[in-house]
Amino acid sequence: MELHETRSFLISGIATLLCLCFSLSVKAGERYTDNSVLSKGNWVKIQIEQDGIYKLTYSELKKMGFDDPSKVAVYGYGGWPLEEDFTKPYVDDLPAVPVLRKDDYILFYGRGTTKWEAQIRNENFTHTNNPYSVYGYYFLTDGAEVKVPEQIKYDKTTSERIETFDDYLLHEKELVSINLSGRRLFEKLSQSTQTFNDFGNPETLGIVEGEIYVDYKFVPLTTTSEAQGEITLSFAGNKLYNGNTSLQSGTYTKGKDMELAQKYEYKAGDHLSVKLEYKKSQQPSTDGYVDYIRLNVKRQLKTYNEPYTFFRSFKSRNHISRFVIEGANSACMVMDITDPANCKIIETELTGSTMSFTIPESNSLREFVLIRTDRTDFPVPVSKGAVECRNLHGWSNKDMIIISPSTLRKEAERLKEAHETQDGLRVEVVTPEEIYNEFSSGTPDATAYRRFMKMLYDKAASKEDRPKYLLLFGDGAYDNRFVTESWSKISDKERENFLLTFQSENSLDEKSYVTDDYFGFLDDASNGKSVESCPVDIGIGRFPIRSVSDAREMVNKVIRYMNNEELGIWKNETCFVADDGSNADKVKKQANDHMKYANGAAQTVEEKAPDVLASRLFFDNYAKDYSSSNSYSVVTDEMNKKLREGLMLINYTGHGNTTSWSDENVLTLPMIDKFSYPKLPLWITATCDFCRFDALATSAGESIFLNEKSGGIALYTTVRVAYGSENDRINNSFLEKLFDQSMYPALGDVVRSVKADNKSLRSKNLNFTFIGDPALKLALPSHKIRINTINGKDAVQNSTNFRAYDEVTVEGEILAPDNSIIDNFNGKLEVKVMDSKIEITTRNNFRNDTAFKYMDYKNLVYKGSTQVQNGKFSFSFYVPGNISYSGKAGKMILYASDSEQKIEAKGNFTNYKVQGTSDDPLDDHEGPEIVKLYLNDSTFVSGDKVNTTPFFYARLWDQTGVDITEGGVGHDVMLMIDNKPFTSYNLNSYYDNIFGRKGEGEVRFGIPQLSAGMHEAVFKVWDVMGNPTTYTFRFEVDESLKPFITNIVATPTPAKGNVEFHLTHNRPESQMKVGIMVYDIAGRLHWKHEETGSSELFKDYVIDWDLRNNSGSHVRPGVYIYRAAISTNNSKEATEAKKMIILW
């Protein structure tokens, strides 16, 4: 219950704090001071809980560090939520607060976090809670002039005598979020008939007889079936309301507001008691929630047993009014607090115990407080410590802002440095507290972020100097105050790493949202518009991190990506995944829609970026296993294979939730946690709820980003319910702008453009968020590859036929963006030669009216690599017999890299047709030679023991090459274990030519988990000419077999600043538990790190260490012992130890 806590209200028609408010007609940059009052001097931050007159004694002020308390001034405006409509007046920086100074203490009026507004028409009050903070804040300083209240005297004239005042009482408990979304919080009914009698004693409160205005908001839970809700409301034992409401609603609606207002004629002796009775389908029910119950009452104007009393009266409007206060004495004083920055002491008359004062006629409602200076029980603010001087108001011309909790600032500074060094951006890191101090009186408020960014936008010297990117370097919560039963349980330490979220007022249905877009509504054209209609002016991203280790790992991940450590043709690869729909989709005849949308998105990429291969992975293309929770496991396997090979982008269209894709569980949280591929794609997910970053549990989308060494580099994804047709338009818009060949924009620029340009989709775009670094650019090649000749003929002027068994020779060169030849380019070229597109008809597993049909490049003719010397290259291959013979054009995608100059190029070529047979095929009847074949490592011989997930390796040679097409005649690279179909694996896509070794290639494949015991395997491979080779071997699976550490190295050594541990082992691509422990010579443990992951064949497993111990302190210089420990599944642990030297 709140009685005297929240006595301030907004006065309609009065522009408060006019001397500190700035009209939007003022030139943008001149709306702000250049120097915050916090830029110099001694400052202490203080915290208050509710509206009140606060007291600070001189002894308390001295304890805060003020030598002369008589010079202490108060600044700020407390805890009311900031105005979200930027057309309305606002306060820039911190205003001085009038201070009442007594002999050895000061008093000042402070505002809490509940804002009461007078509704003049109905003569009652409504309230709004600050959704971001439970406390308000002010600042103390001894370096500024102390402001005192003005003394004011009004003339006595004939006036309206006022002996009562209008007041409000509130019952509200914010304990639950019904929808886990939105800013409104509720109280669950504990019983079907519930009484609320915590409004206080009417006699003690001085309630006078007459009309009480009772208004309340109740939320019954809705249902998808027919149901009726009945609510009965009683006050003081008298029934006020009885009514019914339909509870039937849509799938995503959690509750329905019932907002009612009733009047009650209060009589002396009545209790201030509200009883609520709820029934659902005529049965008592607790399936409902109370938002609030408000009572608007009239009280006697007199002194109460409290140090201060707030009062006001609607009767005083438009009249000369005389307020008469009973029970007063000479220690009483009245202050007009209508404008808190300009409080006025009103001269009063005291006759006996009756105090009175007169105010002139006014259209506005005035707010007063009666202060009893003889009382000693004034509330005392809580000191929050000294404030470091800062001057955000002095900033301008910044490209990027990173808002980071102070606990994560060190890691944010590393990311800032990377962007400054590599991108030339002007970047600043700022903590949320620093923003609050200058833009919301120290009180947490999401609008302060926006106010700060708008200041930078307005003060920029030119359009080019306006901020471009905002990174929110911390997780978010739908409950920003951590007051609900679920969020209140997380530790204070973890709370420090959260940043505020902007939640919608709607908290009950699919239109409820959380959006970071709000912080980017910066142009004056957005002022006054609804959130749903504003364009975004900057690119905004978020790192949903909750710990220092999360922050360090994600910054390392982004910097590795910026350093472009993973080169390869994977940068030309994208994959479009599509759901087959749900039963509801089938009923609506929409089961094919996801495939239609995904296919359209793939076509967009093919048109905008012809150098990119857009493969389709549609569920309905595969047999469905109804006996498994993952009924499309083959889709999961295919997707994982593509991710291991490398994708620049993966795009999903279909149903989803916070833990999985589709009801077939094609992608789940446990799968994501096991991701270990090093090539990081951008994920675009046109599905529901996939990345609810503001939920208590970590969502699947967040897990993709937070995977330390794998997952994804960023996501453009959904945080709430999203709908197919709108998702499709947003998805296509994003892809069109992402692959703008003329500019290769940063990801934040793409997000901004998508959200700003699509006016009709702005409200839908609110449910899409960008997880990642908005200033990051996709690692796309900037240079070009041109094919000049095929078999010695001009490749552009002559269309070539790729005939079965022919040898084809391709020549070309590397070009700069301006099409000039780069004759000093020396490196590697990779190529994929595709057969022509074929029409694919899906299986129609849902038995729709028609199966879905689409075109895709499914068959690979050749995959290989060659050397580039002085900008020129040449490669040859034999065309296999398993081609389509379609007579239609195929597609060649090419990628080249010069690692010394860090130059990458890409290209495509389509001027060839796949048809015909060679007139003079090579006379070859020998199958491929198996040069090497082993499990896990080269010491393997047939019959050896292996772990449950052994790694298969084969090196092959053939003068015409290995057949890896998918022509359907059985010439696949196959590994068959125990001659069983579910342990037989097509390894076509796992074969790669070995760079620089003509005719030689290798197969690398991590075998899925096998049962213990002896197994027999058959490996079969064909060459291009149709000649097979078969090899049979045996092995025994031992579940307890421990891995072997080949080597462990710490580099650099001696180490200074940081060190990398490089571990080599005989478990390539197996999931391992890896631990590194560091001890001093005396055997004391200083650092321990454990993680789960895997590494590729011939690549080290790498773990970084910043030379800080488990307590966060830098270890002392000296000699240390580091020990590595690895294990797989249920195996025993393998260990290895070495020494290292650490310097300061």
Q: Which fold has domain 396-533?
A: Rossmann fold (3.40.50)
Top CATH class of 929-1037 equals: mainly beta
Neighbours of 85 (CB within 10 A): 11
Short-list 654, 630, 631, CA closest to 582:
654
pLDDT digits (tens, 9 = 90+) for 62-114: 999 999 999 999 999 999 999 999 999 889 999 999 999 998 999 999 999 99
Every domain of the chain and the residues it spans: 9-163+301-385, 164-300, 396-533, 564-739, 783-915, 929-1037, 1045-1142
pLDDT at residue 584, as a whole number: 66
Section 588-607 average pLDDT: 91
Section 1021-1042 average pLDDT: 95
Structure tokens at 375: 């009382």
- With b meaning 16 or more CB within 10 Å and e meaning fewer, what string describes 952-976? bbbbbbbebbbbbbebeeebbbbbb
Confidence of residue 585 (pLDDT cuts 50, 70, 90): low
Section 558-587 average pLDDT: 89
Top CATH class of 783-915 equals: mainly beta
Section 180-185 average pLDDT: 97
Mean pLDDT taken over the chain: 92
**Integer Cα distance of 512 and 506 in angstroms:** 5
Section 898-925 average pLDDT: 94
Q: Scan for tokens 């393997």, then name that residue.
A: 940
Q: What share of the chain is helix, strand, coil (3-state, %, to 5)?
A: 15, 40, 45
Percentage of residues in the chain having pLDDT higher than 70 = 96
1036 Cβ contact list (under 8 Å, min separation 6): 943, 944, 945, 946, 1013, 1014, 1015
Short-list 641, 707, 720, CA closest to 680:
707
Check if 396-533 and 564-739 are the same fold. yes
Structure tokens at 1085: 């443990």
Confidence of residue 3 (pLDDT cuts 50, 70, 90): very low
pLDDT exceeds cutoff 50 at 45: yes
CA distances 694 to 460, 480, 482, 683, 719, Å, are 32, 9, 12, 19, 8
CA distances 449 to 39, 276, 494, Å, are 19, 41, 21
pLDDT exceeds cutoff 50 at 927: yes
pLDDT digits (tens, 9 = 90+) for 378-432: 999 999 999 999 999 999 999 999 999 999 999 999 999 999 999 999 999 999 9
**Integer Cα distance of 227 and 285 in angstroms:** 12
Short-list 472, 369, 455, 360, CA closest to 92:
455
pLDDT digits (tens, 9 = 90+) for 628-668: 777 899 999 999 999 999 999 999 999 999 999 998 999 99
Whether 900 and 826 have beta carbons less than 8 Å apart is answered as: yes
Confidence of residue 722 (pLDDT cuts 50, 70, 90): confident
pLDDT exceeds cutoff 60 at 8: no
3-class SS of residue 817: coil
Confidence of residue 20 (pLDDT cuts 50, 70, 90): very low
Section 506-533 average pLDDT: 91
Section 458-481 average pLDDT: 97
856 pairs with which residues across the strands?
A: 838
Whether 567 and 904 have beta carbons less than 8 Å apart is answered as: yes
pLDDT at residue 554, as a whole number: 98
pLDDT digits (tens, 9 = 90+) for 525-570: 888 788 988 999 999 999 999 999 999 999 999 999 999 999 999 9
pLDDT at residue 281, as a whole number: 87
Check: CATH 3.40.50.10470 for 1045-1142?
no
Section 723-733 average pLDDT: 89
**Integer Cα distance of 1027 and 923 in angstroms:** 11
Section 673-691 average pLDDT: 95
**Integer Cα distance of 969 and 1039 in angstroms:** 37
597 Cβ contact list (under 8 Å, min separation 6): 578, 653, 686, 724, 727, 728, 731
Element (H, E) at 432: helix 432-439
- With b meaning 16 or more CB within 10 Å and e meaning fewer, what string describes 1035-1047? bebeeebbbebee
pLDDT exceeds cutoff 70 at 826: yes
**Burial of 649 by CB count in 10 Å (0-12 exposed, 13-18 middle, 19+ buried)?**
buried
pLDDT at residue 1068, as a whole number: 85
Find the distance separating the first CA and the last CA of the chain, reported in whole Å. 58
**Integer Cα distance of 231 and 1099 in angstroms:** 68
Short-list 797, 808, 804, CA closest to 877:
808
**Integer Cα distance of 807 and 804 in angstroms:** 9
Section 850-876 average pLDDT: 95
Q: Which fold has domain 564-739?
A: Rossmann fold (3.40.50)
Section 122-142 average pLDDT: 97
pLDDT exceeds cutoff 70 at 2: no
Geometric angle at alpha carbon 852, from 849 and 857, rounded to 5° = 170
pLDDT exceeds cutoff 90 at 726: no
Would you mind telling me the total number of residues written for the chain in this entry?
A: 1144
pLDDT digits (tens, 9 = 90+) for 1019-1029: 999 999 999 99
Confidence of residue 905 (pLDDT cuts 50, 70, 90): very high
pLDDT at residue 756, as a whole number: 85
**In terms of CATH architecture, what is 164-300?**
Sandwich (2.60)
Whether 675 and 1059 have beta carbons less than 8 Å apart is answered as: no
pLDDT exceeds cutoff 70 at 1: no
pLDDT at residue 314, as a whole number: 96
**Integer Cα distance of 557 and 561 in angstroms:** 6
Strands 768-771 vs 714-718: parallel, antiparallel or unpaired: antiparallel
